[in-house]
Amino acid sequence: MKVKVISRSADEFTKERSQDLQRVFRNFDPSIRTQEKAVEYVRAQNAAKLDKIFARPFVGAMEGHIDSISCMAKNPNHLTGIFSGSMDGEIRLWNLASRRTVCRFPGHKGAVQGLTVSTDGHVLVSCGTDSTIRLWGVPVSNLLEEDVSSDKSAEPRETYVWKNAFRSVDHQWNSDRFATGGAGVDIWNHNRSAPEQSYQWGTDTVVSVRFNPGEPDILATSASDRSIALYDLRMGKPTSKFIMRTRTNSICWNPMEPINFTAANEDSNCYSFDCRKFGEATCVHMDHVSAVMDIDYSPTGREFVTGSYDRTVMIFPYNAGHKREIYHTKRMQRVFCVKYSCDGSYVISGSDDTNLRLWKSKASEQLGVLLPREQKKHEYHEAVKNRYKHLPEVKRIVRHRHLPKPIYKAGKQIREQNESQRKKHEKRKAHSAPGSIVQEPLRKRKIIKVE
Amino acid sequence: MAQTKRKSRDGGGGDKAKGKRGKPGGKKQKGADARERKGPRLPNVLRKEVERLNPIEDEEIDSDEAEVYGRDFYEYEEELPEEEKRKNRRFDPVENLEYQLPEEFEDENVSSDDDDNDMGDAGEDEDEDEDDDDDDDDGRQGIARIPAFEGKKKRNTNVVVSEAYPESEYNPTRDTLDGEGPVNIEDLLNPLHGKSGYSKLRKRIHHLEKKSVPTPAPLPKADQEKLERMAAHEKSKEELQKWEPIIKRNREAPTIYFDDDMDLRSSRASDFKPRTEFEKKIASLVYDDQVKDAHLKDGSRLLELNKVSAEDERDRHNRMAKMRSLLFRHEMKSKHIKKIKSKTYHRLLKKDRVKATSVQSQMDPDTAKELAMKQEYERAKERMTLRHKGTSKWTKRIKERGIDVQDEGTRAAIAEQQHLHAQLTRKMNSMKDGSSSSSSDDSSDEDDIDVYSPGSDHARAVKLLEKAKEKTRNVLKDDDENEVPNSGVLSLPFMVRGLKKRNEAAAEEAKLALQEYESWSNPLEDSSGADNLNVGPPSGRMVFNGSKKNAPESSNKTKTGNKMRTDNYYANSDSEDDLEPEENVDVENDRSSDFHKDVNISTALLHEDSQNHKDSLFKNFGDIVQDPGPKTTHEVSIFASGSWKKIKSSNSADANGKKSTCRLESVERNQNLQEPVEDLDEDSDADSEGQMVDGILSSNPKDEYRLPSQAELIRQAFAADDVEDEFEKEKQEVLNEENPEPEKPTLLPGWGQWTHVQKKKGLPSWMQKEHEDAKKKREETLKKRKDAHLKRVIISEKLDKKAEKLFTKTLPYPFTSKEVFEQSIRMPLGPEFNPASAVGALNRPEVMKRPGVIIRPVEFEEVNPQGKVEDHKQIGKKQKKRNQSNKSRSSSDKIVTKVKTKLKS
């Protein structure tokens, strides 16, 4: 007769150290655990609530500018360095860790409109309404020096004067070329005082210029004629262009998906496009109540941050129609520029009130070194929350945000307007011959013309 | 003239051709002619000149030579001979100019050098040949026989070109006048042939001639740019297409990893420069190339640890672990023991400890001495302090209150104290005497015996044997006295039989045991000599198994002993002795260690002894008031226990008897009760029979008796209860509950009733209207109900508000069916419900990144679009690898710094 014996190895039951946890053996048979779903649902609710409790997104403000901040640039090679340019022509380099000015770059006579840093992080390019482009050497900041002398100024390495004022500048990835937008699009080199190439398509001012970081020869611009255009430097030609109903203030490419970019529009929406087909947007991101001024993608390519004229900063998932997070403070005025930090865990906003503000990208994230168990716990909470996010109670808690009254009211009004328009349209449709009235989806509606 | 001239020219041409070939064979002339047309076509003037200059030159050229030298001259291919182009109508139109000879013919005579030229023709005319194949051979023969110059003759006959004036120097020939016409491109080209690039040029020209389109005017600039842009857009689109698989992979991956390992060397710390001596030393060590290399390759190589073999290390580790676990166990055990509050347990424990020490003392004299010293010290201390004399507050108080009033525990404690006092204050001599004289000391406190009188083993053994015998005898007597109960269950024959059997078996065992005792006691007596204790006389009946007298084997003994016990147990099976076996076992074990020196004494004896001891203890507790001192003798205790048992058993037997009688009585009663019932039944049966008979009798005259149908039967069966009506009522109730009827509008009494007018008016119209509306609404909702048309169904439309929270209103976005969604949230995620190996993968977030690590934009890599989605782990590994490669590429300019956590501040 065969006898089954319960066998247990001593290794599994001996603790090697007194601190070790006693190993627990469990029976994972679902039939003896009938309450598991209920338990996890409650945990999801609790996780959502905890997220709310621990939401402390504001890290700190950086003050020092004496006029509103018009543009910012992050150093792609240095995590703590961020440049900001203001309307009075001052450029500053900030250390995010100490939240102090590391260096000033005086020289511009008018407002600084564009800032960008080369990929190696050594050259800062600025341009402004005084029709000059200035190239600056980025000071190598040592830890010791940072503490001692927080303020020092630098001289421009080069100054190129050109015929027209500039509105924006962007550096090509892994190259020493940069593009400026103004009367037209100009491609410059670090070493030449005149543009390498110039493109002119239409007569209106180019408002923003962005190079594609994944495919560095492709360039997207938006102009004040409400158009968005693509240029290909290899072909030396503009490739395509489309015109929307309202102007696009800023463009940002998805760094992980070189075919996609998102445009921050005046009509308080953001539109994601596939640059191979311009007929329709792939996604419309709405929730702002006023013009979106700037946009920047997270380096993970999964989220982007927007700053708006409605005094809020929002974070959207790359494929979602509504915000994931909204940041606002009482003192923050119109936001003109936003940046996502190079490690994807902070957001910096620059606004009308002359301050830069540092936010966490996840409001309730725990900063500092996490123990493995803490890490696991956080992951579990996140997973559970994610699983039950569709259930009404969890959804409600996760989505709930306290908003400033004007923003709340404006949002409500916009929703009401949209709803009444929809109703009107439906009525019209119901009372006319079938097929005679066709509603275009929002993704297409905003695009007037594709060239 | 002209005619002849032409003729001669033609003929000359033909001659020339003939000569050129240098081959006879007039039959082939035609083909040869045709071939000749392939040759270069000089302008006629030149030709003439050439002919005139050296007419034989051509002829002299050997075929081979032509092949070798004049190859380039003949090699080019001219599409159409002049004749065929019909330029200037100089040649007659001929239907079949290039007449192809049949193949067989050619095969015979084709010269080697002509093959090349023929090939083209043969190819061209294959179609014709195929057509001809259908014809019979005669046709071919005929064709073959056609003379060579037939075609030319024909041409001559057909076209007659007449010159109006005689040919002379002043009269230019027709050719020169209009035949060649103005100079064309071909004329210019021809002299170039043989030069490099000629054929190309010619082809191009030909192409131009064929389709020449006027070049359109250039498009307006805007359109042109638009076209260019479109092309550029298409191109860049194509370029971007390559990213699709990468994007797809990243989007579909359950987790995307951005946490590449930090390269510490390239961090800002590398800017540090050593200043002091110490720093320099350290730096020279740290930045030593060898160290660096070793660190990069295998850091552990530098460590001393590697010299220890893995096995040794493992062994050491295991050993340490074992020690630790042992230590831990011990700790736990002692903790556990410390926690136990039972006094008995601690007493036993203490006893054990004392025993252990005693054993040790017996083993070596040093410890014995020490122990003795300790005892002495204790005694001295007791005498000095008189701690147990009963002078303490507690004892005084108890004595004041009276011991009788106290509970058993207290009494026992006091007794114990007194006993202890007596023991400790007793004079040494008297103590020794007591140990020899009073058996109570021996039995009750064996430890003392062991300690103080190790020499008296022999006597004790004898005594023990005696006791054992007595006990067995008692048991035997009991067996005899055990009368079979006259009534009750035990009086049943099979019970009686069973009892008898058991008793017999027990008696037998007892006898056996007795014999054994005797056999042991004899040698003991012999050895002792002086101590001749008289063994109790065995009764006559007890000796009937002489053959089993000698059973010296210890195993046997133990067996018998055990049996004894069981028998005993059986014997007093009715009493509460159930506990006894267990106790016995325990005590036996304890004792066995104690009695390790007297091996002769059987376990049975031991058992008996221990039992007795137990009993005596019990007795002590029981009679503590009457006999507080340690004077309880062993014998007494035995007898007491025996009698006690006996009484108990008898009592229980009585009780049993009573019980059984009771039961019997009840049974009888039952029977009595049943009898009348049976009677009744019988009566009723009889009655029913009678009725039946009546029924049959009565039904006889009616012939048409039909069995009622099923429906009828059911109706009859449920005639009384109106199910349908009840259900209707129920449904109405449910409906009213779910959609309550609107309340009737009423006015407050006295409200608005102070005039007659208002009284007459009644309720205000709006109230009535509201009521009407509510009624209507209710009716509508009732109509809309799912069970509105179902008469026999109630479908409740009451919603469970609490459960509502657990459902989504609509199907969430990425899911297309309810089942899929439900499936997706079916498996729990937590560590309580999943093995540890699976939890990590289940809970992994979508994006894995580390704070403080710069994430670079995507770089292109080849991805197999058909490749299936790999495991997360594999993807992670791959990505890590990729990142590492990236890093090595850009490690020079890569600077990674952590955002300090003090940011929080």
B685 compared with B794, residue with greater pLDDT: B794
pLDDT of residue A413: 96
For the ranges A385-394, B84-93, B729-738, the lowest mean pLDDT is seen at B84-93
Percent of chain B residues topping a pLDDT of 70: 46
pLDDT-derived band of residue B865, with 50, 70 and 90 as boundaries? low
Q: Best interface-test mutation with B: which of A12, A58, A77 has the largest number of B CBs within 10 A?
A: A77
pLDDT of residue B897: 36
Contact residues on chain A for B228, CB-CB shorter than 8 A: 237
Amino acid at residue number B256: I
Cβ contact (<8 Å) for B857 and A256? yes
Q: Tell whether A66 is within 8 A of chain B (Cβ).
A: no
* Dihedral angle, C-alpha B215, B216, B218, B220, nearest 10 °: -170
Alpha carbon of residue B857 to chain centroid:
36
pLDDT above 50 (res B244): yes
Contact residues on chain B for A347, CB-CB shorter than 8 A: none
Cα nearest neighbour of B903 on chain A: A97
Check if the beta carbon of residue B107 is closer than 8 Å to that of residue B115. Answer: no
Q: Tell whether A345 is within 8 A of chain B (Cβ).
A: yes
pLDDT-derived band of residue B167, with 50, 70 and 90 as boundaries? low
A379 compared with B215, residue with greater pLDDT: A379
Of A259, A380, A391, the CB nearest to B830: A380
pLDDT digits (tens, 9 = 90+) for A382-432: 999 999 999 999 999 999 999 999 999 999 999 999 999 999 999 999 999
What's the first-to-final CA gap in chain A, in angstroms?
86
Q: How far apart are CA A218 and CA B237, in angstroms?
A: 11
pLDDT of residue B419: 87
pLDDT above 50 (res B433): no
For the ranges B256-260, B486-490, B616-620, the lowest mean pLDDT is seen at B616-620
Listed by number, the residues of chain A in 117-176 with a beta carbon closer than 8 Å to a beta carbon of chain B are 119-121, 140, 142-143, 173
pLDDT of residue B479: 55
On the CB side of B880, CA atoms within 13 Å amount to 12
Mind telling me how many Å the CA of B860 is from chain A's nearest CA?
A: 8
On the CB side of B562, CA atoms within 13 Å amount to 7
For the ranges B74-88, B369-383, B430-444, the lowest mean pLDDT is seen at B430-444
pLDDT of residue B701: 46
pLDDT above 90 (res B534): no
Cβ contact (<8 Å) for B240 and A302? no
Q: How far apart are CA B319 and CA A25, in angstroms?
A: 25
Nearest alpha carbon to residue A244 among A260, A262, A267: A267
The residue written with tokens 């501040």 in the block is B905
pLDDT of residue A360: 96
For the ranges A188-202, B460-474, B576-590, the lowest mean pLDDT is seen at B576-590
Q: Tell whether A215 is within 8 A of chain B (Cβ).
A: yes
The residue written with tokens 């018009």 in the block is A70
pLDDT of residue B18: 43
Topology of the domain covering A61-362? Methylamine Dehydrogenase; Chain H (2.130.10)
Contact residues on chain A for B834, CB-CB shorter than 8 A: 28
For B52, the token pair is 């005139």
Cβ contact (<8 Å) for A96 and B228? no
Q: Residue A109: CB partners within 8 Å, gap ≥ 6?
A: A89, A128, A130, A132
Neighbours of B691 (CB within 10 A): 11
Instruction: Give the three-class secondary structure for A189.
Output: strand
pLDDT of residue B371: 81
Could you give the C-alpha distances from A208 to A181, A254, B724, in angstroms and in order?
6, 16, 80
pLDDT of residue A451: 85
**Mean model confidence pLDDT for chain A:** 92
Q: How far apart are CA A272 and CA B700, in angstroms?
A: 100
Cα nearest neighbour of A28 on chain B: B833
pLDDT digits (tens, 9 = 90+) for B9-47: 444 444 444 444 444 444 444 444 444 444 556 666 667
pLDDT above 90 (res A322): yes
- What residue spans define the domains of chain A? 61-362
Q: Tell whether A216 is within 8 A of chain B (Cβ).
A: no
Number of cross-chain residue pairs from A and B with Cβ atoms under 8 Å apart: 199
For B413, the token pair is 């404690």
pLDDT above 80 (res B619): no
ipTM over 0.90: yes
pLDDT digits (tens, 9 = 90+) for B92-107: 555 555 555 555 554 4
Q: Residue B292: CB partners within 8 Å, gap ≥ 6?
A: none
Cα nearest neighbour of A259 on chain B: B240
**Mean model confidence pLDDT for chain B:** 65
pLDDT above 60 (res B659): no
Cβ contact (<8 Å) for B858 and A259? no
Mind telling me how many Å the CA of A5 is from chain B's nearest CA?
A: 23
Of B235, B268, B857, the CB nearest to A143: B268
Check if the beta carbon of residue A350 is closer than 8 Å to that of residue A338. Answer: yes
Listed by number, the residues of chain A in 350-379 with a beta carbon closer than 8 Å to a beta carbon of chain B are 358, 367-369, 376, 379
Check if the beta carbon of residue A213 is closer than 8 Å to that of residue A160. Answer: no
pLDDT of residue B137: 43
Contact residues on chain A for B831, CB-CB shorter than 8 A: 376, 380
pLDDT digits (tens, 9 = 90+) for A34-49: 899 999 999 999 999 9
Cβ contact (<8 Å) for A302 and B244? no
Of A259, A343, A390, the CB nearest to B854: A343
For the ranges A159-163, B653-657, B769-773, the lowest mean pLDDT is seen at B653-657
Of B832, B860, B893, the CB nearest to A77: B893
Rg (chain B; Cα; Å)? 68
Q: What are phi and psi of A130, to 5 degrees?
A: -85, 15
pLDDT of residue B792: 85
Q: How far apart are CA A87 and CA A129, in angstroms?
A: 10
pLDDT of residue B439: 39
Cβ contact (<8 Å) for B858 and A258? yes
Cβ contact (<8 Å) for A451 and B808? no
* Dihedral angle, C-alpha B813, B814, B816, B822, nearest 10 °: -90
Nearest alpha carbon to residue B185 among B214, B206, B213: B206
Alpha carbon of residue B208 to chain centroid:
77
In B60-112, beta strands by DSSP E: none
pLDDT of residue B788: 86
Alpha carbon of residue B115 to chain centroid:
81
pLDDT of residue B483: 53
Contact residues on chain B for A30, CB-CB shorter than 8 A: 833
pLDDT above 70 (res B890): no
Contact residues on chain B for A234, CB-CB shorter than 8 A: 236
pLDDT digits (tens, 9 = 90+) for B761-778: 777 889 889 999 999 999
pLDDT of residue A134: 95
Of A16, A96, A390, the CB nearest to B899: A96
pLDDT-derived band of residue B83, with 50, 70 and 90 as boundaries? low
For B36, the token pair is 């000749």
Quote the Cα angle for B513-B519-B523, to 5°.
145
pLDDT-derived band of residue A213, with 50, 70 and 90 as boundaries? very high
Cβ contact (<8 Å) for B854 and A77? yes
Query: If DSSP states are collapsed to H, E and C, what string results for B802-830?
Result: HHHCCCCCCCCCCCCCHHHHHHHCCCCCC
